[in-house]
Amino acid sequence: MAQTPNQRPFGSASSLVSLCNIFIMKVKIKDWKAVAGWRWDVPDDDVCGICRAPFDACCPSCKIPGDDCPLIWGECTHVFHMHCLLKWLGTESSQQQCPMDRRPWVTAS
């Protein structure tokens, strides 16, 4: 969920709030255990240019997406499953180029 910290709709209550704040804080957070899921930072439903499987899924040689089947970003801004790209770079014909734009592959850091 995208959060926009400075647009909190406190509205009418805010004047009251500031008054009350003069006294001690009635409610204080001691411990906050949040839970979050992570996704690859790629547009929704985008697919790997090599295996055509969604980035949210894994490459054909893996079974489970996630940490074990990471993505790799090139300086040319193209993204692939790391396994797919490494396999491609391992072939003779790749000439170490990005399969999308034929520029030499440089992994973005």
Residues of this chain that bind other proteins (CB under 8 A): 1, 3, 5, 8-13, 16-17, 20-21, 24-42, 56, 58, 63-67, 71, 73, 79
Minimum distance of other proteins from residue 5's CB (angstroms): 6
Residues 6+ apart with CB under 8 A from 81: 48, 50, 51, 53, 55, 58, 59, 69, 70, 71, 72
Minimum distance of other proteins from residue 23's CB (angstroms): 10
Minimum distance of other proteins from residue 30's CB (angstroms): 5
Is residue 96 within 8 A of residue 89, CB to CB? The reply is yes
Give whichever of 13 and 86 is closer to other proteins, judged by the CB atom: 13
